[in-house]
């Protein structure tokens, strides 16, 4: 049994199973860089507080910088409990007694809060970048396909015609809000918790402003108990991740439907589809199905963290060690969802002719009712008249657009002689701000480009 850094108070070692159960290195070793950077800043703070002599501080920083350069290939031991102890061990192996001074006035409780906040700042930025890249692609597809008219659905029943640009811009705005949610929660990561100590604050005169500056945070934490105990910033990240992945999953579901035999609006590239091991005919939209499926992991992570924290007495409890695995996994998963979706959209084929040929003309029923309204009928009566026309068409198997002016005028005195129902006309009626008319879609795309440019700053 190896000696623990906390062995002094113990007479016996841990049971091997307990040792393994307690170890978090498998998860938290990804924060090696953050842990080392935290120690470099800490060495400056405790030097300033008079705990280290100048030459000791210099030696510590030299050794820490060497570790930082090799942070991707550090050799850990089975006996290292977590990344904080592993780095301290490596430092002490290099420097002997000076290495043993680094943990003065510090606790792993404030250390882990610091590392996690620093690591999540980085991950959150990566998530935002991958969503931004997807956002650009969504906008590019919207712009390229804006002339295409497609059915839009309610209850999965073709409802009204829309521009495909309008359709893709609807996803654009959802994803854009997702990015803004991450930007907002990143503000809550940006609080520097170090020198909170175990819970009551460090016992030394630590210059926390120096730490904040060194570590690039926006502010220092106001309360040491809050700083070591709470994980709300991670829960907030997971809430934002859950909403973003819900959007992507829903978008994926649309794509799956639109690639299916009943629709065939889109065809995914071979690069993002897979075949069946038995049915040679199959080309399946697995990329989209996995996006839908992996969303469950992200929701699961949110539930995990809410559950882990809901009954914890203040302040730190080891339960909190269970925070990182689900959060890191959720962040990496969301990044991959965005990257794959980006690739799918950039490479898929839009079957414009197939879409144009399959537009159901009864999607123009609302427009016909609007025409009757314009000719003096109250909307409720117009709705009823057109309902009867659609019913008769269904019975006779005729398309709404095939009825002649005289056939139509038999239904109502308000029916004008020159009714001309077209899909394009339906779109043109909806040029109001936010509608599917061509001017509105162009305005959305223009604004979308501006938003992208702002996020890219």
Q: Which residues are catalytic?
A: 155, 276
Q: How many CB atoms lie within 10 A of CB 258?
A: 21
Structure tokens at 161: 């015609």
Pick the stretch among 170-178, 313-321, 341-349, 361-369 that binds ligand ARG (CB under 6 A): 313-321
8-state DSSP, 274: B
Residue 321 vs 347, nearer CB to ligand ARG: 321
Q: Which of 44, 103, 108, 136 is the binder for ligand ARG (CB under 6 A)?
A: 108
Residue 72 vs 318, nearer CB to ligand ARG: 318
Distance separating alpha carbons of residues 318 and 81, to the nearest angstrom: 13
Residue 179 vs 238, nearer CB to ligand ARG: 238
Q: Which of 104, 170, 321, 401 is the binder for ligand ARG (CB under 6 A)?
A: 321
Contact yes or no for 153/254 (Cβ under 8 A): no
Residues 198-227, mask of contacts with ligand ARG (x by CB under 6 A):
------------------------------
Q: Shortest Cβ distance from residue 333 to ligand ARG (Å)?
A: 21
109 binds ligand ARG (CB under 6 A): yes
Distance separating alpha carbons of residues 40 and 174, to the nearest angstrom: 41
**Site size with ligand ARG, rule: CB under 6 A:** 10
Pick the stretch among 69-77, 108-116, 133-141, 337-345 that binds ligand ARG (CB under 6 A): 108-116
Distance separating alpha carbons of residues 47 and 57, to the nearest angstrom: 6
Q: Shortest Cβ distance from residue 24 to ligand ARG (Å)?
A: 4
Q: Which of residues 32-61 bind ligand ARG (CB under 6 A)?
A: none
Angle (CA) 323 33 60, round 5°: 120
Residue 28 vs 230, nearer CB to ligand ARG: 28
Q: Shortest Cβ distance from residue 111 to ligand ARG (Å)?
A: 7
Distance separating alpha carbons of residues 150 and 449, to the nearest angstrom: 23
Pick the stretch among 33-41, 104-112, 147-155, 290-298 that binds ligand ARG (CB under 6 A): 104-112
Beta bridge partners of 267: 349
Distinct helix (H) and strand (E) counts, the chain: 18, 6
Structure tokens at 338: 């965005």
112 binds ligand ARG (CB under 6 A): yes
Contact yes or no for 196/219 (Cβ under 8 A): no
CA–centroid distance for 264 within its chain: 28
106 binds ligand ARG (CB under 6 A): no
Q: Shortest Cβ distance from residue 27 to ligand ARG (Å)?
A: 8
Residues 57-86, mask of contacts with ligand ARG (x by CB under 6 A):
-------------------------x----
Q: Tally the C-alpha atoms within 13 A of residue 79's C-alpha that lie toward its C-beta.
A: 12
103 binds ligand ARG (CB under 6 A): no
Q: Shortest Cβ distance from residue 241 to ligand ARG (Å)?
A: 20
The secondary structure of 15-41 as a DSSP string is -HHHHHHH--HHHHGGGHHHHHHHHHH
Pick the stretch among 11-19, 125-133, 208-216, 312-320 that binds ligand ARG (CB under 6 A): 312-320
Pick the stretch among 314-322, 338-346, 347-355, 426-434 that binds ligand ARG (CB under 6 A): 314-322
- Residue 285 has φ and ψ, to the nearest 5°, of -85, 55
Residue 229 vs 408, nearer CB to ligand ARG: 229
Residue 234 vs 337, nearer CB to ligand ARG: 234
172 binds ligand ARG (CB under 6 A): no
Q: Which of 316, 328, 341, 423 is the binder for ligand ARG (CB under 6 A)?
A: 316
CA distances from 113 to 123, 236, 404 (A): 15, 15, 73
Structure tokens at 168: 């893709």
Nearest CA to 59 out of 74, 38, 39 is that of: 39
Asked if the peptide bond before residue 242 counts as cis, ω within 30 degrees of 0, the response is: no
Q: Shortest Cβ distance from residue 25 to ligand ARG (Å)?
A: 8
Q: Which of residues 11-30 bind ligand ARG (CB under 6 A)?
A: 24, 28
133 binds ligand ARG (CB under 6 A): no
Q: Shortest Cβ distance from residue 128 to ligand ARG (Å)?
A: 25
- Residue 403 has φ and ψ, to the nearest 5°, of -70, 140
Structure tokens at 107: 């606790």
Structure tokens at 341: 């979706």
| Tally of residues, the chain | 457
Nearest CA to 235 out of 307, 332, 137 is that of: 307
Site of interaction with ligand ARG (CB under 6 A): 24, 28, 82, 108-109, 112, 316, 318, 320-321
């Amino acid at each position: 049994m190896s000696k623990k850094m906390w062995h002094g108070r113990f007479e016996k070692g841990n049971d091997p199973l307990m040792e393994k159960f307690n170890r978090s290195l498998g998860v938290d070793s990804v924060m090696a860089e953050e842990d080392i950077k935290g120690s470099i800043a800490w060495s400056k703070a405790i030097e300033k507080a008079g705990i280290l002599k100048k030459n000791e501080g210099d030696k510590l920083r030299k050794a820490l910088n060497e570790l930082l350069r090799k942070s991707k290939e550090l050799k850990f031991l089975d006996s290292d409990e977590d990344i904080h102890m592993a780095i301290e061990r490596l430092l002490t192996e290099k420097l002997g007694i000076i290495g043993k001074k680094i943990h003065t006035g510090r606790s792993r409780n404030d250390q882990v809060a610091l590392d996690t906040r620093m690591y999540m700042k980085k991950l959150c930025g990566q998530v935002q970048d991958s969503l931004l890249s997807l956002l650009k692609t969504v906008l590019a597809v919207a712009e390229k396909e804006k002339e295409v008219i497609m059915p839009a659905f309610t209850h999965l029943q073709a409802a009204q015609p829309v521009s495909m640009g309008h359709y893709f811009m609807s996803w654009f705005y959802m994803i854009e809000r997702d990015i803004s949610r991450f930007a907002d929660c990143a503000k809550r990561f940006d609080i520097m918790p170090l020198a909170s100590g175990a819970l009551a604050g460090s016992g030394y005169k630590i210059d926390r402003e120096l730490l904040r500056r060194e570590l690039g945070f926006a502010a220092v934490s106001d309360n040491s108990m809050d700083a070591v105990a709470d994980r709300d910033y991670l829960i907030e990240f997971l809430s934002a991740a859950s909403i973003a992945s819900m959007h992507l999953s829903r978008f994926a579901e649309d794509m799956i439907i639109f690639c299916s035999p009943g629709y065939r609006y889109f065809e995914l590239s071979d690069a993002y589809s897979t075949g069946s091991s038995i049915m040679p005919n199959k080309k399946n939209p697995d990329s989209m199905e996995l996006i839908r499926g992996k969303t469950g992991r992200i929701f699961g992570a949110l539930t995990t963290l809410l559950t882990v924290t809901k009954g914890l007495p203040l302040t730190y409890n080891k339960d909190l060690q269970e925070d990182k695995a689900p959060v890191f996994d959720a962040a990496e998963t969301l990044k991959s969802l965005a990257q794959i979706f980006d690739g799918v959209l950039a490479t898929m084929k839009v079957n414009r002719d197939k879409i144009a040929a399959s537009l159901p003309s009864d999607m123009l029923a609302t427009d016909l009712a609007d025409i009757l309204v314009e000719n003096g009928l109250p909307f409720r009566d117009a709705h009823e008249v057109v309902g009867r026309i659609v019913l008769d068409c269904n019975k006779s198997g005729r398309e709404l657009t095939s009825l002649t002016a005289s056939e139509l005028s038999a239904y109502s005195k308000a029916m004008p002689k020159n009714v001309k129902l077209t899909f394009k006309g339906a779109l043109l009626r909806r040029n109001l701000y936010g509608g599917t008319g061509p001017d509105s879609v162009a305005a959305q795309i223009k604004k979308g480009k501006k938003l992208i440019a702002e996020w890219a700053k």
